[in-house]
Amino acid sequence: MTGNFGLDWATLAVSLHNTILMLWLGLTVLLNAERRRWGIGFTGGALILGSIFFFSHTAILGLGLNLASDGLDFWWHIGWIPVILLPFGWYGVTLWYNGFWDRPTSDLQTRQRLWFYLATSLTVALIAFLLFANPLPSIAEISNLRLTSAFTLAGIPILIPLYVIDIMLCVVLSLDALRRPAPSPRMMGNVARQRARPWFITTAIVLLIVGLLVTWVIIWVTSNAERGIAIDNQMIFTVGIFDLVIASLIAASIFCVGQAIALYQVFTGKVLPRRGLLRHWYNAVILAIGYGIVTGWSIAAQLRPTYTILLTTGLFTIFYALLGWRTYVERDRFVRDLRPFIASQGLYDQLLTATPSEVDVATPFRALCRDLLNARSAFLSALGPLAPLVPPLAYPENTTPSIPIDLKKFDSPQTMCVQIDATHWAVPLWSERGLIGVLTLEEKIGGEMYAQEEIEIARASGERLIDTCASAELARRMIALQRQRLVETQLLDRQARRVLHDEVLPQLHTAMLTLGDANPQAIELLTATHRQLSDLLRNMPVVAPEITRLGLIGALQKTVDEEWKAAFDSVTWQIDPEAKLQAQALPPLTAETLFYATREAIRNAAQHARAEKSDRALDLRIEITRGLCIVVEDDGIGVQENPLAQKDGHGLALHSTMLAVVGGTLSFEPRVNGGTRVTISILPG
């Protein structure tokens, strides 16, 4: 140590700080890696190697150069191994992260291949020279500024200029790799590189300054040794100042690397950063600063080891208590943010009202986007069978989906998100039936990347919102339909009672009075009664056709021939033989649901395709393909309003609901040449 208490305290504190953070970062990279690749091991090993250097640096500072011993000599020689390897380690990490080995034909590899071989050869030569030639002067020689026993060139140990060349070469080459990287094959890798690049470039510049300072200190010390100047307190103080400045600059570079790792998961291979990792990184920084200050003070003050142990024990206890307190604060905040999603929405009470209203999913969606994700904009759209039941949700409310999404990218539930462009991400939403929706997110208001926890919460919340809205809408439509059927049944029952009481019974009574005379009028009265009863039965709810006997396709053909043949000039059937076999294997409920939905589409075409022009030609085409996809097309005038937007429980909107129950879909679209196309399909299985 220098003998100056403040300087020794600061230098020890910074050295301990660097030891802790580099060890924490190295272990974090190794333990949190998504895949165990050699680059991950190389990066983690380089960080741990840096921790070993500062471990030896702290040991040398604690022992002091005034006390030449075998232990001090050991740490002096051990510390030079990471000193030589670390510049090349930084260069290798930047090459690996920027895609040097990903594509053999990349511009980065073409530009730096020979330089990489040169830096590798120089580093290997320095390590071999250090291990086998023992080129370093001993601590005793350094304390007396006698460097004669080392391999020297013009009075300077030959290891020193070679090391200076090595560190400058590695740092300059790493700057070039950071400035012009190769394309990243990893999803969102280019985004992470772009956002982490300022931190890495700052690190490289700081390391370049460190290399220049180390070079200047070495030249200054060796020039004093050549002139035979003895070491005095002023020289020791000057070297101590430079040591503190260099260690502080390295601490700044460690912080930059840690920020890049914690904010953007640059070395772990994960797609998205984790908010928890950033929180733990800041905790590690606080611990390193506190431990460095307390332990550095105890070593500089030369306290007894017992007091040092007591101080560190109290420090760790306080830190652990604060960590627990922050954990509970984060938990309470997390629960508060999730409360809009886990609170009851009163679905049961809403469904029991006289006019069931739609479930409010806009409020939790707004809380998700504004309070939890802090997104500039978001758009939630349902897909598949649930699309007719769930209206699109937007935040803010006037947001429209202006970016097309390729659904083929969502090939697996393991796909957490897909980047659409520089500022938009698409989050797939899944259920047991497959892909049910997509949540499109614009970047955060502050421009930060979304954390992995945030995307996981957004994904789970979006799936729950779609499921809740679809279930509530399905129940609402079913209840509305059931209430309508109850009213119709009551009206029909009253109508039947009135007809039987006021018309049928009097006529039967009159017939009985006149029957005895065998008057032909009796026969006419009985005939009229029979006709009224027939009309009454005809007005009763239509029973299901004989789908079991004729099959789905046969029942459709019979219905078209009997009910709507006169409504069209021509009816064209295109039926795939395999589709016919699949239709015969359908469960009765599914077949009946498909029948009614198709019949409703044909009925709409018959009633609305001509509109006011009764003499207009009208053709109908019905296509049934494999996979049970039924297409009903007409060449009429078309319609202006999508019938699926109806929410009164009638028409195609009702049948789309019924199809969703059995796993089917119904879509409506206008034809380019006029008319409409209704596509009805059933999911396999």
92-133: pLDDT as tens digits: 988 888 888 877 778 888 888 899 999 999 999 988 888 887
Percent of the chain surpassing pLDDT 90: 10
CA distance 45 to 464: 43
Give the model's pLDDT for residue 249: 93
- Spatial contact of 203 and 255, defined as CB atoms under 8 Å apart: no
- φ, ψ of residue 434 in degrees (nearest 5): 120, -150
The rounded Cα 213 to chain-centroid distance in angstroms is 44
The string of DSSP codes covering 199-240 is HHHHHHHHHHHHHHHHHHHHHHHHHHHHTTPPP-HHHHHHHH
| Least reliable range by pLDDT among 190-194, 210-214, 376-380, 536-540 | 536-540
Going by C-alpha positions, the residue among 165, 163, 14 that lies closest to residue 80 is: 163
Q: Write the CATH number of the domain with boundaries 349-469.
A: 3.30.450.40
Q: Break the chain into its structural domains and give their ranges.
A: 5-274, 349-469, 480-538, 547-682
Residue 514 pLDDT class (50, 70, 90 cuts): low
The pair of structure tokens assigned to 185 is 């094959």
562-595: pLDDT as tens digits: 888 788 888 888 888 888 888 888 888 888 888 8
CA distance 155 to 493: 117
Strand duo 676-682 + 664-670: pairing: antiparallel
In the beta sheet, which residues pair with residue 518? none
The rounded Cα 336 to chain-centroid distance in angstroms is 22
Q: Is the pLDDT of residue 147 over 60?
A: no
Going by C-alpha positions, the residue among 571, 552, 551, 569 that lies closest to residue 561 is: 571
Give mean pLDDT, residues 632-640: 78
Going by C-alpha positions, the residue among 599, 493, 587, 526 that lies closest to residue 556 is: 599
Give the up-direction half-sphere exposure of residue 175: CA atoms within 13 A in the CB hemisphere: 13
In the beta sheet, which residues pair with residue 272? none
Q: Is the pLDDT of residue 188 over 70?
A: no
458-475: pLDDT as tens digits: 888 888 888 888 888 877
70-81: pLDDT as tens digits: 667 777 777 788
Give mean pLDDT, residues 636-641: 68
Give the model's pLDDT for residue 603: 86
- Spatial contact of 213 and 248, defined as CB atoms under 8 Å apart: no
Cβ neighbours of residue 298 closer than 8 Å, sequence gap 6 or more:
307, 308, 311
Give the model's pLDDT for residue 96: 87
The pair of structure tokens assigned to 629 is 């996809």
387-411: pLDDT as tens digits: 878 888 888 887 776 667 777 777 7
Give mean pLDDT, residues 528-553: 66
CA distance 159 to 351: 83
N- to C-terminal Cα distance for the chain? 78
Sheet holding 676-682, edge to edge: 570-575, 619-625, 629-634, 676-682, 664-670
Mean pLDDT of the chain: 79
Alpha-helical segments (H) within 622-683: 651-661
Q: Where are the beta strands (DSSP E) in 74-159?
A: 152-153, 156-157
259-294: pLDDT as tens digits: 888 877 777 656 566 677 888 899 999 999 999 999
480-512: pLDDT as tens digits: 776 676 666 667 767 776 776 677 667 766 766
Give mean pLDDT, residues 294-312: 88
Percent of the chain surpassing pLDDT 70: 76
Domain 5-274 part of CATH 3.30.200:
no
pTM of the model: 0.65
Residue 648 pLDDT class (50, 70, 90 cuts): very low
The amino acid sitting at 240 is G
Report, at the CATH architecture level, how domain 547-682 is classified: 2-Layer Sandwich (3.30)
Give the up-direction half-sphere exposure of residue 293: CA atoms within 13 A in the CB hemisphere: 7
Q: Looking at the chain, how many residues does it have?
A: 685
CA distance 253 to 369: 35
Report the SS3 class of residue 397: coil
